[in-house]
Amino acid sequence: MIAIAEWMGIKRKDPHYTLMARRWARGFVISVAVGVVTGTAIAVQLALLWPNFMQAAGHTIGLPMFMETFAFFFEAIFLGIYLYTWDRFKSKMKHFLLVIPIVIGATASAFFITSVNAFMNYPTGFQIVDGVLTDVSPLSAMFNPATPTKISHVIITAYLTAAFILGMVAALKLLKNKGSEYYKKALHLNITAAAVFAIATAVIGDFSGKYLHEYQPEKLAAAEWHFETESEAPLILGGILTGDNEVRFALEIPYALSILAGGTPDTVVTGLNDFDPDYLPPLWVHYFFDSMVFIGMYLAAVSILFVAAGFKHRLNPLRRINPMHPLILKLIVAGGPLSMLAIQAGWIFAEVGRQPWIINGVMTVSEGATTSNHVDTMLWLFIALYTLLGVTSVIVLRKMFKENPVEKEMEKRNIPESTLN
């Protein structure tokens, strides 16, 4: 979003967009800094809590893990240069070029680290001889069947969330101060981007479903409480499961599970009854899958409504809706926290849905974990660390933007409140 805003500022010669890029970049620095600390915490966790996992899989996934660190440094170095060279170039385009490596670095970071998670879900690129992983091919471990859908779903939903968070801020400001042109443009830019990302999310989410059908059918069956192997399988939304595996109070969308799995209603979806009951994930993942999909639909509906209402063509049935109506603004505000919840729900579904495995079919979570007696101490320490980080980042971000509001910064930089002629 920073890159798009800076680009718009140059193309439209509109200092409002340039100011957005400046301000968002400052907030971004804080989240990158938090990312450094949590990234280090994860490295410590991997070594201390998952020694057997790291020993078994370290050779196979060492490459993307190292590449992730490399991508991070790439991003961080250019972010430093970017921040300090705003007014140093005669041509604004030159400064814009510096944001490209930041986008590449941040996205590559997500790419590499998610490929490690893809490997845990569908491990390839090695042989097991006497219980030891040998004949390692790091590249085929990295590019396993889970990689394409996982990486694209993670990256696009991260973009979607960023656009909604920034859109939420703009909508909140507009609810207070209806006239602000800066925030109207910020809202428009973010929610238009969000509509594009939301459609892409739905398309890729559909591919993720097809991936599960082919490679992790037990995860899909658990998500959908699908017990009998059959075609024309319905998608089950919400509901509760009774003691004898009867689904109650759910909304059923006929054929939708078969279509999600294979694209046609006659796709046969394997049911839970046909898997080894010792290796099935807990069935409560259903709620997490549902929440994610529901939020995905919500975000798509709200952002598409906003964009559609903006087209004033006489054939557009939504043209009479004011996209800046307080109700629409409030729906957008809700989209901010909801998108974050969807990310959490998606991860909980993907990870718990792989249980009891840490490396699918190769090593269980209990085999991968440490046998040390101090896991509970570690838990408290990490909770303390994450709480501290969470609280400080909120304080720092609030202070940063409260002390230097848009109006003040526009005055300081001689940017007019309106740039529309």
**Residues interacting with ligand HEB, by CB under 6 A?**
121, 146, 150, 153-154, 157, 160-161, 201-202, 205-206, 208-209, 211-212, 219, 292-293, 295-296, 299, 339, 342-343, 346-347, 349-350
Q: In this complex, which beta carbon is closest to ligand HEB, that of residue 153 or of residue 173?
A: 153
- Whether residue 356 is preceded by a cis peptide bond, meaning omega within 30 degrees of 0, is yes
**Least distance from ligand HEB to the Cβ atom of residue 146, Å:** 6
**Least distance from ligand HEB to the Cβ atom of residue 8, Å:** 24
Distance between CA atoms of residues 323 and 31, nearest Å? 30
Distance between CA atoms of residues 25 and 3, nearest Å? 9
Q: In this complex, which beta carbon is closest to ligand HEB, that of residue 342 or of residue 406?
A: 342
Distance between CA atoms of residues 283 and 260, nearest Å? 19
Q: How many CB atoms lie within 10 A of CB 203?
A: 12
Name the burial class of residue 372, with classes exposed (0-12), middle (13-18) and buried (19+) by CB atoms within 10 angstroms of its CB.
exposed
**Least distance from ligand HEB to the Cβ atom of residue 78, Å:** 26
Q: In this complex, which beta carbon is closest to ligand HEB, that of residue 9 or of residue 125?
A: 125
Name the burial class of residue 156, with classes exposed (0-12), middle (13-18) and buried (19+) by CB atoms within 10 angstroms of its CB.
buried
Contact yes or no for 215/223 (Cβ under 8 A): no
Pairing of strands 247-248, 240-241: antiparallel
Distance between CA atoms of residues 50 and 19, nearest Å? 45
**Least distance from ligand HEB to the Cβ atom of residue 353, Å:** 6
The tokens describing 140, both together, are: 């085929």
**Least distance from ligand HEB to the Cβ atom of residue 360, Å:** 10
Instruction: Give me the amino acid identity at 16.
Output: H
Distance between CA atoms of residues 311 and 231, nearest Å? 42
**Least distance from ligand HEB to the Cβ atom of residue 93, Å:** 32
**Least distance from ligand HEB to the Cβ atom of residue 52, Å:** 23
Q: In this complex, which beta carbon is closest to ligand HEB, that of residue 177 or of residue 264?
A: 264
**Least distance from ligand HEB to the Cβ atom of residue 112, Å:** 14
Q: In this complex, which beta carbon is closest to ligand HEB, that of residue 121 or of residue 270?
A: 121
**Least distance from ligand HEB to the Cβ atom of residue 149, Å:** 6
39 contact partners, CB below 8 Å, separation of at least 6: 72
Distance between CA atoms of residues 326 and 343, nearest Å? 26
Q: In this complex, which beta carbon is closest to ligand HEB, that of residue 214 or of residue 417?
A: 214
Tracing tokens 């899989």 back to the chain, one arrives at: 57
Contact yes or no for 135/123 (Cβ under 8 A): no
Distance between CA atoms of residues 1 and 25, nearest Å? 9
Q: In this complex, which beta carbon is closest to ligand HEB, that of residue 162 or of residue 174?
A: 162
**Least distance from ligand HEB to the Cβ atom of residue 289, Å:** 7
Q: In this complex, which beta carbon is closest to ligand HEB, that of residue 32 or of residue 292?
A: 292
Q: In this complex, which beta carbon is closest to ligand HEB, that of residue 103 or of residue 343?
A: 343
Tracing tokens 């080894």 back to the chain, one arrives at: 276
Computed from CA positions of residues 68, 71, 75, 77, in that sequence, does the dihedral angle turn out positive or negative?
positive
By Cβ distance, which residue is nearest to ligand HEB?
346
Q: In this complex, which beta carbon is closest to ligand HEB, that of residue 60 or of residue 121?
A: 121
H or E stretch covering 290: helix 285-310
